[in-house]
Structure 1
Amino acid sequence: MRAGFILSEVGSGLKKNFSMVLSVILVTFVSLLFVGAAILLQMQVGQMKDYWYDRVQVSVFLCPPDSEATNCVDGEVTDAQKKNIEDALAGPELAPYVDTVYFEDKAEAYKHFQDQFKGTSLEGTVPESDMNESYRIKLKDAEKYEIIKEYFSSTQGVEEVVDQNQLLDRLFGVLNVATVVAVVIAGIMLLCAMLLIATTIRLSAFARRRETGIMRLVGASNSFIQLPFLLEGVIAAAIGATLAAGTLGLLVHFGVSGWLQEQATGFNLISGVDVLIVAPILIAIGVVMAGASSLITLNKYTKV
């Protein structure tokens, strides 16, 4: 009997305040869409870090002819200088950091240059004799790349030390900024949703003040009076959260796992499984947000 009465009151409240309830659903949907996007973006950043940092290399470029670098004052790198560099890479001081070393000669460097700039104005502009020979170093711990850079920065015969981590750090920095922006927007929208839920509950309580007055007279408890109003806000927020999760699922399925995965072959992107992990979080945030906002409002306007 009590459950049926509460459900009927909830249904009545949702019908009477349909426009406000719809507004709550839409605001919750948009805010949690940003929250979910921020979470998924961070999950993608984590996957990309695991992939790229495992494959990152430090390239030690040797002096080519006519280089103006400080370590190349004697001209092109000599065999003796190459031997010193190879001994250092194989020595005990760098052994804890170096995993594998690959030497790229001028012919290979020239081939890679031609492949990279094929069909552009740069193709064929640099002769093979002017290409840099280099040592490509795979590290045991990619985050230790600064050690290799500092070690060879003043070594004779070395023109430049380039680590791919610098480029990756910039990329991940941009993605992290995008995450922060999404979180800020989501926070603003969540605040709007909480205020709108509070307004909706207050209007609903005011519209049914006669019914709540009668319930007080017959001895109904405060929690029994408040429960229908609380459920109205929670249901509206839960619907908005579910819509946000469903939208993210569609975007990931068709946009990321579909089109983007075909363009970015070679490493994994987020998938529907990740959305299934995020969905309960979004629903929980929506329910807690609506519950807290509703309770604060109800304690003020329906207190016995």
Structure 2
Amino acid sequence: MRYRYVLSETWSGLRRNLTMTLAVIVTMWVSLALFGSGLLAYQQVELMKGRWYDQVEISVFLCGTVSPASETCSGGTDVTDAQRETIEATLRGNPEVAEVYHETKEEAYEQFRKAYEDSPVLDTLTVDQMQESFRVKLVDPEQYMGVVGQVAGLPGVEAVQDLREYLDPLFSWMNLIQVGTITASGLLLLAAALQIGNTIRLTAFARRREIGIMRLVGASNVYIMLPFLLEAIISAALGIALACVTLASGVYFIIMQKAQVSLKAFEWIGWSEAGLAMVGVAIVGLLLAIIPTLITTRKYLRV
């Protein structure tokens, strides 16, 4: 009998406050979808960092016949054997360096031909116009400035190129987008919490006579609060379900059907990352429903 009463009161509350309930569901849907998108963006950035940073190499380009005159290059001449040996010894003696690979002009030319196999620029360069280089693998990709600074000014070195020069700005923008998404979703989550609290307050006010009678007959606080709590949980569950469907659709249609097909060089998030984001969305959504309800009922159910 008691369970039947709780369920009937819950249904009655949802029906009487249909407009407010729909507003709560939509707000929860949008805010949780944005929150989940922020979690997916965070995982995507970390995934790309983990793969790209582990593969980051420092390229030390040596002076060649096409190199202009500078402090380290005489201009129009190749690096000498002595300069090459000094550069290699410096790199191998650095504790931050894990591996050093010397790429000759011939090897660089072969890589060039593979990269531009079907391009009209294929026959525009010769072997002599290629540059020797050292490919340097680091122990810790985060600690690259020391190696760069050590070899940048050595005689025979034309330029030192580090992929992180290009990756760091990209990740900075991605992190900014991630923070913006989380901030926007946080504001919407706050709005959803306030809406839930306001809905429960109006419902409690409309049932103040019934609550007073239940108090007189000895009903417990849990029994009185249960219909309100179920209303909030049902609204949250619908919002969570819609948000999860939105995230799953985004991962499938945007990531798997578009990004993974057109940008195969990148590593993209998949269902495992989407599952983690959905779990986070479900936890936050339930807390968002339960906590405001408990706070509001404790305050407004004192008759």
**TM-score, reference length from structure 2:** 0.90
Per the alignment, residue 72 of structure 2 pairs with 71
Provide the rounded CA distance (Å) in 2 between the counterparts of 1:115 and 1:178.
36
| Cα offset, 1:264, TM superposition | 2.8
After TM superposition, list the pairs within 5 Å mapping 1:44-83 onto structure 2: 44-65=44-65, 66-73=67-74, 76=77, 77-83=79-85
> Which stretch shows the higher mean deviation, 122-131 or 179-188?
122-131
After TM superposition, list the pairs within 5 Å mapping 1:5-84 onto structure 2: 5-65=5-65, 66-73=67-74, 76=77, 77-84=79-86
Q: Secondary structure at the match of 1:162?
A: strand
Q: Secondary structure at the match of 2:136?
A: strand
| Cα offset, 1:244, TM superposition | 0.7
CA contact (8 A) 2:91 2:147 kept: no
Per the alignment, residue 259 of structure 1 pairs with 258
Per the alignment, residue 229 of structure 1 pairs with 228
| Cα offset, 1:97, TM superposition | 2.8
Is the aligned partner of 1:274 residue 2:276? no
Q: Percent identity?
A: 42
Q: Secondary structure at the match of 1:257?
A: helix
CA contact (8 A) 1:28 1:190 kept: yes
Is the aligned partner of 1:297 residue 2:299? no
Is the aligned partner of 1:87 residue 2:89? yes
Aligned residue pairs, count: 301
Per the alignment, residue 131 of structure 1 pairs with 130
Summarize the Cα distance change of 1:156–1:75 in structure 2 as closer, same or farther, 3 Å threshold: farther
Provide the rounded CA distance (Å) in 2 between the counterparts of 1:123 and 1:180.
44
Q: Secondary structure at the match of 1:14?
A: helix
Q: Deviations over 1:48-86 (max 9, x none)?
A: 112112211100011233514321146532222112212
Provide the rounded CA distance (Å) in 2 between the counterparts of 1:200 and 1:117.
64
> Which stretch shows the higher mean deviation, 232-241 or 178-187?
232-241
Q: Secondary structure at the match of 2:134?
A: strand
> Which stretch shows the higher mean deviation, 121-130 or 202-211?
121-130
Provide the rounded CA distance (Å) in 2 between the counterparts of 1:277 and 1:140.
31
List alignment gaps of at least 5 residues for structure 2.
none
| Cα offset, 1:114, TM superposition | 6.1
> Which stretch shows the higher mean deviation, 250-259 or 190-199?
250-259
| Cα offset, 1:128, TM superposition | 4.8
Per the alignment, residue 202 of structure 1 pairs with 201
**TM-score, reference length from structure 1:** 0.89
Provide the rounded CA distance (Å) in 2 between the counterparts of 1:69 and 1:6.
84
Per the alignment, residue 169 of structure 2 pairs with 170
CA contact (8 A) 2:91 2:151 kept: no
| Cα offset, 1:251, TM superposition | 1.4
Q: Secondary structure at the match of 2:268?
A: coil
Provide the rounded CA distance (Å) in 1 between the counterparts of 2:255 and 2:41.
11
Matched AA of 2:26: L
Provide the rounded CA distance (Å) in 2 between the counterparts of 1:61 and 1:9.
76
| Cα offset, 1:152, TM superposition | 0.2
Provide the rounded CA distance (Å) in 2 between the counterparts of 1:205 and 1:125.
80
| Cα offset, 1:131, TM superposition | 3.5
CA contact (8 A) 1:242 1:279 kept: no
